[in-house]
Amino acid sequence: MVHYHRSHQPRKPNADSTRDEDSHTIITLDCSTSSYYIKRTRPKLLSFLLLITFLSCCYVFAPLFLPTSFSFSHLYSPAIPSHGNSDGVDVNDSTCSSVSAGTICCDRSGFRSDVCVMKGDVRTHSASSSILLYNRRSSDNVSVGEELQHEKIKPYTRKWETSVMKTIDELSLISKKVNDVGGCDVQHDVPAVFFSNGGYTGNVYHEFNDGIIPLYITSQHFKKKVVFVILEYHSWWIMKYGDILSRLSDFPPIDFRGDNRTHCFPEAIVGLRIHDELTVDSALMKGNKSIVDFRNLLDQAYWPRIRGLIQKEERKAQEKSREQQISSSQSSDTSEQQYIEQQVQENPMKKPKLVILSRSGSRAITNENLLVKMAKEIGFMVKVLKPDSTTEMAKIYRTLNASDVMIGVHGAAMTHFMFLRPGSVFIQVVPLGTTWAAETYYGEPARKLGLKYVGYEIHPRESTLYEKYDKNDPILRDPTSINKKGWEYTKKIYLDSQNVILDLGRFKKRLHRAYEYTLSRSKLNLQHQPL
């Protein structure tokens, strides 16, 4: 499951307003806390002029007092408070961008992660959980072997979450003065990036949000000339994401604990940069790289494997076709029917494809079979996909990359929206008590990727909790008040004990809109194709 930022929930609206998922969000600025005020005894016209003057000055002079990367949208971010903007700054543009040889620079201003940069004679020493930086500079005040600098860091991107950070291995970064040192077991002529695969690794959301995307942000500017050194190395993770790693590095990753050899590097980055939930902020990247560029990298990573799968299927189909042609029992009617089916499959003008990411256990759609039937009646080609930890990522990517619409209930599997092509439709079914999380972790990132996002917030009657609690219970009528009781309580009620019974009449409206939208996009694409 997604581990929510539990201490940063959005404020409850002051007004008695209601909001449907199709409505527009209205933001009201409350200036009641301002230290500036106008006395009521002054004439109204003068008060109005003073207010206009003050706001104009704020608008003109604000850029002089705010950092260039400051965005006013940060004022309304419920997930991460403003603890400094360095989390998102690219390594080359950060506080440590001009590190001199023989020194260690650590940027600890970020709320999500710490990042240290070492330049010079960098050497691994896994037995002591250390990365050593040997310095041959002469100094009258420092004796040979004495430490010039000693930093400690846990290279994981959930720095604020104390409970999980306790489980992350800590590294010592030590700079020493030396006269002579031994040789290296393995000499690398490219930089290294050190990071941990501990924490919540094993959950697809955290694998992408806390690991893969930050790794892209931190290392892509090296253009594959970089070595990844991994703490808490998992062979299954390497197998699962090997296609992506091969697009980020030309070299095999190193198991920091399992490889006791001394690896030497000219430079090391320890820790990963992270921007926001499942996204890449182009304003903070060299070359203005964005989440779309990351998605393009996924395309490059998975298509070689997908082509192999397609070729294998084509060979099997050809073999089957030859067998059928040889068979004397084959009737002409059967051959004609098979020919028609083949033509339908190969026809580029086929029905829009809809994929339902199915869940088992909690937050499952209990009337999923009726949903499938309804979608087919509307005109979709429907596929039900139920990925698990053993499902090959390239196969999931192939299915979603070829689809026009994806439907799923809020949960870690929604991370797969990144496999959809920009312009596709993503319908997220939002159970009771998960509205803020669904929007923050998947809704907003999906829009940044260029998807047509629809958040379908269920009504109390569409939740199986409606059968367990009185209709006036706060669990049904006021989930926000329940969320305030803490993560464990919220998780037990809304994530672990709730399934969805879709109101198909209500949900059908969304499906019809998705269908019409998909058809209009297809027609538009055909109009722009060269003749």
Which residues does residue 268 pair with via DSSP β-bridges, in sequence order? Answer: 118, 192
The proportion of the chain whose per-residue pLDDT surpasses 70, expressed as a percent, equals 75
What's the CA gap between 244 and 241, in Å, rounded? Answer: 5
> How do residues 415-427 score in pLDDT, each as one tens digit?
999 999 999 999 9
527's tokens = 């109009």
C-alpha distances in Å from residue 422, one per residue of 24, 291, 354, 379: 22, 11, 15, 22
Using pLDDT thresholds of 50, 70 and 90, give the confidence band for residue 202: very high
Q: pLDDT at residue 90 above 80?
A: no
Q: What is the average pLDDT score of the chain?
A: 82
pLDDT for res 145: 64
> How do residues 308-344 score in pLDDT, each as one tens digit?
999 988 888 888 877 777 765 555 545 545 544 554 4
What's the CA gap between 412 and 206, in Å, rounded? Answer: 8
Average pLDDT over residues 43-60: 54
What's the CA gap between 309 and 303, in Å, rounded? Answer: 10
pLDDT for res 458: 98
Helix, strand or coil, per DSSP, at residue 108: coil
pLDDT for res 351: 92
Contact 371, 365 (CB under 8 A): yes
pLDDT for res 236: 96
C-alpha distances in Å from residue 474, one per residue of 244, 334, 496: 45, 60, 18
Taking residue 146's Cβ as centre, other Cβ atoms within 10 Å add up to 11
Q: What is the DSSP string of 162-218?
A: HHHHTTSPPEEEEEEE-S-----SEE-SS-EEEEE--TTTTSHHHIIIIIIHHHHHH
pLDDT for res 523: 78
- What's the one-letter identity of residue 152? K
Using pLDDT thresholds of 50, 70 and 90, give the confidence band for residue 443: very high
Average pLDDT over residues 505-518: 96
Q: pLDDT at residue 414 above 80?
A: yes
Q: Where are the domains of the chain?
A: 101-273, 351-526
pLDDT for res 83: 37
What's the CA gap between 352 and 349, in Å, rounded? Answer: 9
What's the CA gap between 324 and 504, in Å, rounded? Answer: 43
Q: What is the number of residues in the chain?
A: 531
Helix, strand or coil, per DSSP, at residue 130: strand
What's the CA gap between 123 and 184, in Å, rounded? Answer: 8
Residues near 482 by Cβ (< 8 Å), separated by ≥ 6?
433, 474, 475, 489, 490, 493, 494
Alpha helix (H) residue ranges in 252-331: 291-326
pLDDT for res 179: 76
Average pLDDT over residues 45-71: 48
> How do residues 365-390 score in pLDDT, each as one tens digit?
999 999 999 999 999 999 999 998 88
Residues near 130 by Cβ (< 8 Å), separated by ≥ 6?
124, 171, 172, 173, 174
Q: Strands 115-125 and 130-135: what pairing? A: antiparallel
Least confident of 152-156, 173-177, 458-462: 173-177
SS3 content of the chain, % helix, strand, coil (to 5): 40, 15, 40
> How do residues 249-292 score in pLDDT, each as one tens digit?
999 999 999 999 999 999 999 999 999 999 999 999 988 999 99
Residues near 323 by Cβ (< 8 Å), separated by ≥ 6?
none
Of 14, 15, 19, 17, which is closest to residue 439 (Cα–Cα)?
19
Taking residue 304's Cβ as centre, other Cβ atoms within 10 Å add up to 11
Phi, psi of 289, rounded to the nearest 5 degrees: -60, 145
Question: Crossing angle, helix 235-248 and helix 393-401, to 10 degrees?
Answer: 50
Contact 4, 206 (CB under 8 A): no
What's the CA gap between 131 and 461, in Å, rounded? Answer: 57
Q: pLDDT at residue 494 above 50?
A: yes
pLDDT for res 45: 52
pTM of the model: 0.79
What's the CA gap between 410 and 428, in Å, rounded? Answer: 6
Residues near 443 by Cβ (< 8 Å), separated by ≥ 6?
428, 453, 455
Taking residue 34's Cβ as centre, other Cβ atoms within 10 Å add up to 8
The proportion of the chain whose per-residue pLDDT surpasses 90, expressed as a percent, equals 65
- What's the one-letter identity of residue 260? N
pLDDT for res 18: 35
Q: pLDDT at residue 212 above 70?
A: yes
351-526 CATH fold: Rossmann fold (3.40.50)
pLDDT for res 78: 36
More confident residue, 91 or 480: 480
Contact 394, 302 (CB under 8 A): yes
Contact 405, 427 (CB under 8 A): yes
190's tokens = 């490219």
pLDDT for res 343: 45
